[in-house]
Every structure is written in C-alpha cells, then in structure tokens.
Structure 1
Amino acid sequence: MWDFLALALLLLRFSKKCGYIVLAVAIMMGCSVGVLDWTALVWIVATGVILLIRTYVKPYRSWRHLTEAVLVADAVALMLHLVHGFKNLRVLDGVYVSPDSLPFTMYYNFDKALVPFILLGCVSTLFYTKHHKHVSWQWGLLVAAVPGLLMLATLAGGLRVEFHAPVWLLDFTLANIFFVSLAEEALFRGYLQQRLARAVNPAAALVISALSFGVMHYHGGLMMVLFASLAGLIYGIAWMWSGRLWVAVLFHFGLNLTQLLFFTYPALRHLP
C-alpha cells in the first residue's frame, strides 16, 4: 500500500490522471488494512467532491476563491494530523541513532501524503513554473549551504558531528521523500511561496514562506524554529531558481539525510 501511495505521488508530476488512479488504489488498500477508517474515507471523498466541482463545474468558477480556501485549510489540517481516522504506520518508535541523540519516532503518513494531491487542484503549476536561471557556481553555493547550516547548528549546540548507517535507512528514505519532504514543499514552496510571489516581491515571498515553515516546527523549541526557517530559505531559493518542486524536495531530503548520516539525529541529547 505504501509503495502504491509513493508511486501515486511520483506519477503526479508527469500525469495527474495516473497519479489519482494509483491514489484510489492506495486508498482502497488503506481501507482494507485499517490504515483508513470510515471518518478518514468520508473526509477523502468530501475533498474529492470539492476538487471535482472546482475542476469541472463551470458555473462554480465565481466561487473559486472559496473552494481554494477550503482546500488549503484541508491540506493544512492533514499536514498537522488534525483529521481523525488516519492510522499512520509507526515504523520506528523512540529509537536512538546514537547515545547522544534524542529518541526518534518515524511514521508513514497517509494523511500528509494527500497534501500534494489537494494543492494541485488549487495551483496547476504546483510542480513546475517559470524560473530564474542561475549559473553553476551559484547552485554550488546553495548545495554547500546544506552542510553549512548543519555545521552552524552544531556550533550553536544543537547538533554534534557523528557518523551513522542505520539499518532502517531505506525506510527513512521512502518516508522522508514522499511522506514528509514532498508534502511540506508542496505547501510552503509550491503553493504558499508561489501564490505570494504573484502578489508581493519574490524575495518577500521567499522570507514569508521560510518563516512559516519555521513556525511549523515550534514544538522543537526556538532553536528548531530558527534552524527550520534558515532551511526554508535554502529550499525556497532552490524552488525559485529551478521552478521545479522536486528540486526543493531533493534539497529538503538532502539536508535531512546529511544530518542523519553525519550528525546527531534528530537533535543533540543533553544528558544530565
């Protein structure tokens, strides 16, 4: 089921119809194994009806702003796991990557994975839009900013340099690319930053989306908010320069993977 859900997300960039068909298969499988109960199914069907009305019912075009607001609120609720009925699979439960790391719990998130499907109904250019070309050395600096930010967090006392090769690395890769990074980048870069860039200066849109991304990590404390906001700037620049959502996703996953392999993860455990 999770492979089908990841495949649906992958196909969404190339064929919207194929992506939704594979998603329907994943939803049926999720219902059959108990990952989705009837409340989640009702929520999904209601969201699907709104997407269909927005797409195909011509007289409804005068209400497009209202339907978009409802769909975005829907996506945010799913992102924050506020919708009942989703029994996300707990893959890791309080594992320690190292003695100096905080415990780490990881889920395969069905609710969060639905976010790109919803937002694509609001912004047809979610995955690809116009971009600003930049030369290779500028991209090199942006890539270097990923380990640079992690070293900055280390100097600030939030991380420590370590090397890990956890046996669950493949599970982490699947979960982080498709059920975390893609959903978050779809919301904060593909939707929010893109929408804001049409109304305000692109630099302001970049900063606002990055700060919003940082605030979403408030549960980790002030340092996590600051770190996530700076990371959001990197992802936002990657999206702005490339015009491709998947480039921002790869930067997002690249930072998370680099931290997992070479630093304490998810953060430094301050032992008494």
Structure 2
Amino acid sequence: MPLPDTLTLAAFALLALALLAESLRLSWPSRLAALSSVGVAVASGLVQPLGAVALAAALGVSLAARHYRRPELWLVWIALLLALALHALPGFNNPLLWQGLSTPDSAPYRLYWSYDKGAAGWLLLMVLAASPQPQRRWGVAAAGVGALLLLVVLGLASVAGVIAWAPKWPHWLLPWLFANFFLVSLAEEAFFRAGLQRWLELRTEPFPALMAAAVAFGLVHVAGGWVWVGLATLAGLGYGLVYAATRQVLWATLAHVAFNAVHLILFTYPRLM
C-alpha cells in the first residue's frame, strides 16, 4: 500500500499534532502546528486554492464565534464546519490509501485521509476550548458502564446480522488507526460530546443531554438503515458516558477508536455485504 508523498505526510503529521495540542488546551502550540500544516498542505497540493479559501473563511468565522456569542454567527460557523467535515467544499485532494473488501463477505471499504474533516475538528476544538464546561464528573463507574455498553453493541450487531466474526490483521491497520483517531473519531467526539452534549448539559439535566447527543449521533448513520441507527445510538451512549465520567474529549475519542478497532480486527468491516 503506497503512502502519500513526504510533504503530504508532513501536513497530516502537523495537523495531528495541532489536534492533539488543542484537545489538551495547549493553544499556542496548537495554532503554530495548524498554520504550519496548512502551509505544507498547500505546498504539496493536498489543499488547492479553493480549499485554502474555504479554510481561511472557516478560520475567520471560527475566531468570530469564539469571541462573539451570537446565535446567527454560531449557525453559520456550524454550517461551515459541517460542510468541511462532509467534504462539501471543493479544493481538497484527500488521498485514498486503500480500497477493497476487508473480508470476502464484507461491504466495500475505502480508506481516505480526509484533511478537510481533520481541519474541521481542529476548528471545533479551538472554539470549544473557550466555552464553559460542566463541573461535575460522573466518575469511573460511568466510564465502566460505557465500556460495557460498547461491548454489548458489538454483540447486538452480530446477533442482528449486521456484522459477523471474522478475525484478521489488515496490512493497512496503522494508516487506518491514524485516520480513525485524528481525522474521524476526534472530530466526531468533539462535535457530539464536547460540543452538543456539553452545550445541552449546561441548559438542561445531564441524562437528557446524554440521550439527545447519543440519538443525534445515531441519526447521522441513517444511511446504513434503522438497525445501524439504533446500534450507533447505543454506541453514542457509551462514548457519552466516558465523556461525562472524565470531561475529556480525548478519553471519549480513545473509547471510540478502541470500539472501531475491535470491530475491524475481530468482525466483518465495515459490515456484512
């Protein structure tokens, strides 16, 4: 499996460093790494002129949203980040690292490194770092319940015939882990847990906030069918419990990646044909 060229690898490495630093609230190292990443990405052709314009616009709106708490501004900000995360904006040459069937009975899968989604995750974390946080942590017991719930989800998915037992060790596992942690799970957990669940919890009770964020997470998987929505909702509850236990988006992200990795290594991935 060929990896991207050296400049493209450097752009993604710097973006990963920026995401990690921002999730730890190290603002200046994060911003330096992010700006360096964009510069290298433009030089490598990973980000083309229209993509650079889109990133500049998203950064400007994000900085405004960080300093001015106006509902209409936040709606524009969320719309821009969603457009980036869903690859709706032109100008990004996201590399395809692998495509095919992970097992003979699995649905086709394509492994992309999506720079636009990773950038959207960084912008989201950058704004959320300045937002108020719930003070109460639910404790280790909640995290344990969340982890058990994630195991139950895998069992239910197998019983429902969505996935099946298929142990393997894909040769593209390491690039997949990089993409799944930095470019997928971290962005999703920032949005649904550090964003939506946190925002709702500051305005209502903790349990309704947890449930609403989990249902929203499930509904974005509607393309896979209603069984997939139900399973994703339960998984969202698991991630939400880990977040509520720790108030750290990194722990929710680690739970998300661990769940996905067990799914990939031990079961058909992404699902049965």
Q: Displacement of 1:53 after TM fit?
A: 4.0
Give the TM-score normalised by the residue count of structure 2: 0.89
Aligned length: 262
Q: Which residue pairs with 1:12 in the alignment?
A: 22
Distance 1:135 1:193 in 2: 19
- Of all paired residues, the percent bearing the same amino acid is 31
2:73 maps to what in 1?
A: 67
Is residue 182 of structure 1 aligned with residue 186 of structure 2? yes
Is 1:36 the counterpart of 2:47? The answer is yes
Partner of 1:87: 93
Change beyond 3 A, Cα 1:32–1:174: same
The range that moved more, 115-124 or 159-168, is 115-124
2:119 to 114, 123, 126: 114
Aligned counterpart in structure 2 of residue 240 of structure 1, from 241, 244, 252: 244
Asked if the contact 1:126/1:191 (under 8 Å) is kept, the reply is no
Alpha-carbon contact 1:128-1:245 (below 8 Å) kept = no
Which sections of structure 2, spanning at least 5 residues, go unmatched?
A: 1-10
1:265 and 1:225 map into 2 onto residues whose CA distance is 17
Moved more, 199-208 or 178-187: 199-208
Match of 1:99 among 95, 104, 121: 104
Structure 1 unaligned runs (5+)?
A: none
1:125-144 map, 5 Å: 130-136=135-141, 138-144=142-148
Q: Secondary structure at the match of 2:162?
A: coil
Say if 1:193 and 1:209, in contact at 8 Å, map to a contact too: yes
Cα root mean square deviation, aligned: 2.0
SS at match of 1:114: helix
Residue 58 of structure 2 aligns to which amino acid in structure 1?
T
The offset of 1:145, in angstroms, is 2.2
Amino acid in the other structure paired with 1:73: A
Residue 31 of structure 1 aligns to which amino acid in structure 2?
V
Aligned with 1:208 (options 208, 212, 215): 212
TM-score normalised by the chain length of structure 1:
0.89
Taking the aligned partners of 1:207 and 1:132, their CA distance within structure 2 comes to 17
